[in-house]
Chain A
């Protein structure tokens, strides 16, 4: 039968296809998953709603939707607990929906919602860089929450005040910090964490070379290298910490300067050397998972990772500490300002009930709960000084918390922020994946120049 030869060849092809489809089943197990649960979840309960009886009398039975934190780490659990407490105390039914994990995707979701004048979202989380873009669609909270706003750090309140209107309330703050393995630093003879980037590079290399003998998945340094908003934050820290400016300073685009080019090229040269090659596709969780798995010596991340890395189930529990990020020989340490606000949609059908939810969620009692339960940075200075809060959030000790905070250029880019940030992170991504900075930054600078008005 002449047919047979063809049949065998084709059969092999079919078998390969089958094998590929079966290997899918195995794929799910090829990545470490962290089943970490917060150590203190049982000990800390969400606070009760003050003045609940009056709220209940007024808004009982109303239904609102709250677009809260992404299912990143512990944050969604925190939202669930708070919302359940609020509903129980006030009789206001709250539908909780997590926003997409990538903040640019979360931005698009809100933009779509506002453009459609939709009433389907009442309360939403807003990134610290969004108020400028979304202010026309948000309720002025000053009449209801102006007094409460005085408790918060005034820098953030200014950020959330557009044209004299308080369009959002600070929920929690954020800034970039360096996580490091205490045990490995000791093992390789270092007395403390790196002060400069070149120290970090050489320490990471030495530790990696030593550890890879027993763990071939071990790398020196992980960070947020994917082409997304997180890379804008990380790159701002690199550039600002060597004295290369903040991308846009005093309305002038400064991103294309010699110091920026040097540090960005230095970062590129470390990709695949002290970082996994794939770090250029890592987001926050992409960096946290290997670190928690014991596969990295240093990590740049936000404070949210602290409680998760310290939780039972994490391989590095008790073995790591945090400090300020390194700086250049001439610069000083910085941390990019992150953080989230809560706003109320102008198209909400239950404005009053929505404002009460915001009042509760941004209250000192909830910030204390959030700081202890979820290691988020309080925006109320008085809360940040509570000893119990500082104990669970070591980065609130003055030596770390007083680091110079740098802001992304949202106040110059306003509603073009998303586009400008995309120009920045796409440019940095090109550099990290192999193009010299001098070939990339001029065009990034000219794109930004067009957007700065």
Chain B
């Protein structure tokens, strides 16, 4: 991650920059300009517009109610919105479950496919299959597999005497979150494994040889060599997955539609803007989601800084 890399050391004492330096810096800005323009167009403009809308009563069906500035009203309403509060909680629970399980499984898989064994090549390809399936398709398949009447999971579970009777995994509130997390874990673990595998492959082999010479056990090697050197890859992975999980929409949409007890932040936002047509209030929700995700990024980056020193 670029923000993790330490910037080039800047000279302590300020001095006048030479003409050459100034010309170089002008050239740098010039070369950056197209990229900055693109970023401004695709990221900063929509974000700014969303923030602006969040202070208005903008409606989806334009022209029925006149749009006016309402100040902080949307944010005051949001503060008292119990549905949004439960959506935040639901999303955070989902994030904690999926990211931790995906990380644990992904690390194990990465270690396996990083070691030498017969059929390693095919194994690396096969493990990516779930990741290659579009989320909506995967979610629909799982919905059928988890069906209480026709689902293969209940059928197999009952036949193997793991389950006493068929469960409606998706319909029952007590198992709904577990069911949806299972799909995400199944689908995204390969991605986590892939990122960690990339991290494992840049660790020099010599370190392990030296450790062997010194008589370190495999477990010691893992804790003292692999894990510390894998840390940058681990952080990138965790940040990626956490941000992804916090804005989850697709699996929940396929599984639950507009069910009230299983709304994530993004589902609630979408149904507010597109279903109810409240663009203004929905924008306030969007800004809140942006800030919540931002908070997680700050926590991660701070953690990196602290542990770097």
- How far is it, in angstroms, between the C-alpha of A30 and the C-alpha of B123 when the chains are bound? 27
Chain B residue at minimal CB-CB distance from A1: B218
**B160 interface residue, CB < 8 Å from A?**
no
Which residues of chain B have C-beta atoms less than 8 A from A276's C-beta?
A: 148-149, 168
Chain A binder among B21-29, B198-206, B269-277: B269-277
Check if A433 sits within 8 Å of B63, measured CB to CB.
Answer: no
Query: Which residues of chain B have C-beta atoms less than 8 A from A21's C-beta?
Result: 126, 129-130
Say whether A227 contacts B256, CB under 8 Å.
yes
Residues of A within 8 A of B112 (CB): 6-7, 10-11, 13-14
A108 x B168 contact (CB < 8 A):
no
CA distance A230 to B107 in the complex (A): 45
The SS class assigned to the A binding surface is helix
Given the complex of chains A and B, what is the CA–CA distance between A258 and B108 in angstroms? Answer: 57
From B127, B166, B274, B277, A14 is in contact (CB under 8 Å) with B127
Instruction: Please report which residues of chain A, range 1-37, place their CB below 8 angstroms from some CB of chain B when the two chains form the complex.
Output: 2-3, 6-7, 9-11, 13-14, 17-18, 20-21, 23-24, 26-28, 30-32
When distances are taken between beta carbons in the complex, the residues of chain B under 8 Å from A429 are 259-260
Question: Do residues A133 and B61 form an inter-chain contact, with CB atoms below 8 A?
Answer: yes
B-facing mask of A250-281, CB < 8 A → 1, else 0?
00000000000000000000001000111111
Interface-centre pick from B123, B150, B276 (highest chain A CB count, 10 A): B150
> Does the CB pair B150–A434 fall under 8 Å?
no
Interface size of B in residues (CB-CB distance below 8 Å)? 56
- A433 → B minimal CB distance (Å): 6
Residues of B within 8 A of A6 (CB): 111-112, 218
The answer to whether B108 touches A426, judged by C-beta atoms less than 8 angstroms apart, is: no
A430 vs B105: C-alpha distance when bound (angstroms):
35
Selected interface stretch from B3-11, B87-95, B139-147: B139-147
Q: Which of A21, A418, A434 has the most CB of B within 10 A?
A: A21
| Docked-complex contact B172 and A433, CB < 8 angstroms | yes
Find B145's partner among A3, A27, A416 (CB 8 Å cutoff). A27
Q: CB of B54 within 8 A of chain A?
A: no
**A17-B189, A279-B171 given; 20 more Cβ-contact pairs under 8 Å:** A3-B115, A10-B108, A13-B108, A14-B109, A17-B130, A30-B145, A104-B275, A114-B61, A133-B61, A272-B168, A277-B167, A277-B172, A278-B147, A278-B170, A281-B168, A281-B170, A281-B256, A415-B277, A429-B259, A429-B260
3 closest Cβ contacts across the A-B interface? Answer: A277-B168, A10-B112, A426-B260
Q: Which residues of A contact B (CB under 8 A)?
A: 2-3, 6-7, 9-11, 13-14, 17-18, 20-21, 23-24, 26-28, 30-32, 102, 104, 107-108, 111-112, 114-115, 133-134, 136-137, 217, 219, 226-228, 272, 276-281, 290, 295, 415-416, 418-419, 422, 425-427, 429-430, 433-434
